[in-house]
């Protein structure tokens, strides 16, 4: 049996699937099985998959079911002691599996290890680092407040932890990874690998570009999460809701960026501030507020240039912060 099962859900991923698989093949830890679930693709995804020559690769072809369904299908085929998921347009650094496995071996009580993420655009360019997160041990409260894991391509999970929480929730597909992390965190400590190891691709066709759908599913995750949370954590709900509306603001500004989107962004950001006024202390909130005001008050050509400048400055700041804290 392999030590790790890597599960890749793939739907119409012809542009990226081979690069994604290559990032797994280049792992310094090689005792894994690679399970690709073709989710009823209508492009050349399956054809390209069949060109890969690797004894560790298993390809399963199913009718389209959606991301949560595909992840569950992958679990039924996995035989490893540890499970990792990788979206078909994301990438890993070569030491991702090695360091995350070491973190779990060094922390035998932990059920999940995670790393830090880069964000990249559709072409794999314009790469910038997310702010560093050091949450470890009992991270239940932090995950109720927001999905600091960032990407479904991030975690390495102990099989016993997977078996303890069961399947992904198909009712919140697109936000099902956040729901899964919350459920894991209820009973399992997390270990952090303080390294940038995940390249999270943000594409125009992804679920996160469909702002209202993403927001609706995030709100469902919050309701579900706080229904199961103990009384002492109920006070965190407004902060969690505010973070979701702030994230919607970010998506409207970065994925759509029209005059109407700016109006929607302003409404979402005001909702976030009204729910949880301390969110204004966060520099990200203040940056979003500036962007909203620019888009509403300044001609689009000028405001777009200024927003691009702010994004570059924020990226530079996060990179410096990463370097200073490693």
Do residues 85 and 176 lie in contact, with contact meaning Cβ atoms separated by under 8 Å? no
Report DSSP state, residue 45.
H
Q: CA–CA separation, 291 vs 295, rounded Å?
A: 6
CB atoms within 10 A of CB 320: 11
- Averaged over 53-67, what is the pLDDT? 97
More reliable by pLDDT, 320 or 155: 155
Q: CA–CA separation, 68 vs 172, rounded Å?
A: 8
Q: CA–CA separation, 223 vs 215, rounded Å?
A: 12
More reliable by pLDDT, 174 or 2: 2
Confidence bin at 269 (pLDDT 50/70/90): very high
pLDDT of residue 222: 98
Q: Which residue has the tokens 């794999």?
A: 124
Spell out the domain ranges in the chain: 4-201, 230-325
Q: 127-141, 187-201, 310-324: which has the highest mean pLDDT?
A: 187-201
Bridge partners (DSSP) listed for residue 191: 113
Q: Is 132 helix (H, G, I), strand (E, B) or coil?
A: coil
Confidence bin at 251 (pLDDT 50/70/90): confident
Rounded mean pLDDT of the chain? 90
More reliable by pLDDT, 322 or 147: 147
Do residues 150 and 202 lie in contact, with contact meaning Cβ atoms separated by under 8 Å? no
Q: The pTM is what?
A: 0.89
More reliable by pLDDT, 247 or 322: 247
* Least confident interval from 6-20, 116-130, 170-184: 116-130
Q: Is 282 helix (H, G, I), strand (E, B) or coil?
A: coil
Confidence bin at 271 (pLDDT 50/70/90): very high
pLDDT of residue 202: 80
The two beta strands, 112-120 and 128-129, are antiparallel
- Averaged over 263-285, what is the pLDDT? 95
Nearest by Cα to 122 from 197, 214, 19, 204: 204
Q: Which two tokens stand for residue 289?
A: 């507020």
pLDDT of residue 121: 81
Positive or negative, the CA dihedral 147, 153, 158, 164 is positive
Confidence bin at 117 (pLDDT 50/70/90): very high
- Averaged over 276-280, what is the pLDDT? 97
pLDDT at 324 over 80: no
pLDDT of residue 253: 84
Q: Which two tokens stand for residue 215?
A: 């927001």
Nearest by Cα to 54 from 33, 27, 76: 33
pLDDT of residue 244: 97
Q: Which two tokens stand for residue 93?
A: 């650094």
Confidence bin at 205 (pLDDT 50/70/90): low
Specify the DSSP element, H or E, that contains 261. Answer: helix 259-275
Q: What are the tens digits of pLDDT across the range 206-250? A: 555 588 889 999 999 999 999 999 999 999 999 999 999 999 998
User: How far apart, in Å, are the Cα atoms of 185 and each of 83, 102, 157, 241, 322?
Assistant: 16, 19, 11, 19, 25
- Averaged over 88-117, what is the pLDDT? 98
Residues in CB range of 70: below 8 A, 6 or more apart: 9, 11, 37, 39, 62
Q: What are the tens digits of pLDDT across the range 150-178? A: 999 999 999 999 999 999 999 998 899 99
Q: What are the tens digits of pLDDT across the range 126-157? A: 678 888 999 999 999 999 999 999 999 999 99
pLDDT at 74 over 90: yes
Report DSSP state, residue 292.
H
Q: CA–CA separation, 179 vs 72, rounded Å?
A: 14
CATH of domain 4-201: 3.90.550.10
């Amino acid at each position: 049996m392999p030590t790790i099962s890597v599960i890749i859900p793939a739907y119409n991923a012809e542009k990226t699937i081979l690069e994604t698989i290559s990032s797994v093949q280049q792992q310094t830890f090689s005792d894994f099985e690679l399970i690709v679930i073709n989710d009823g693709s209508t492009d050349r995804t399956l054809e390209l998959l069949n060109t890969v020559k690797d004894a560790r690769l298993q390809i399963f072809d199913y009718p389209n079911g959606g991301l949560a369904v595909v992840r569950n299908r992958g679990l039924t085929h996995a035989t490893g002691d540890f499970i990792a998921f990788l979206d078909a347009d994301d990438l890993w650094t070569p030491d991702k599996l090695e360091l995350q496995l070491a973190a779990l071996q060094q922390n035998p009580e932990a059920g999940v290890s995670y790393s830090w993420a880069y964000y990249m655009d559709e072409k794999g360019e314009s790469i910038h680092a997310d702010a560093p997160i050091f949450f470890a041990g009992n991270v239940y409260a932090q995950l109720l407040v927001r999905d600091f894991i960032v990407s479904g391509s991030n975690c390495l999970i102990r099989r016993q932890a997977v078996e303890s929480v069961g399947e992904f929730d198909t009712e919140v597909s697109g936000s099902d990874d956040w729901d899964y992390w919350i459920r894991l965190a209820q009973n399992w400590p997390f270990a952090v690998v303080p390294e940038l190891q995940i390249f999270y691709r943000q594409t125009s066709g992804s679920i996160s570009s469909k702002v209202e759908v993403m927001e609706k599913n995030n709100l469902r995750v919050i309701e579900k999460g706080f229904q199961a949370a103990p009384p002492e954590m109920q006070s965190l709900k407004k902060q969690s809701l505010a973070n979701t509306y702030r994230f919607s603001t970010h998506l409207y500004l970065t994925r759509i960026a029209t005059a109407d989107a700016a109006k929607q962004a302003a409404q979402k950001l005001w909702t976030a501030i009204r729910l949880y006024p301390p969110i204004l202390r966060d520099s990200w909130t203040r940056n979003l507020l500036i962007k909203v005001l620019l888009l509403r008050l300044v001609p689009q050509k000028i405001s777009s240039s200024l927003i691009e400048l702010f994004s570059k400055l924020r990226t530079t700041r996060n990179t410096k912060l990463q370097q200073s804290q490693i």
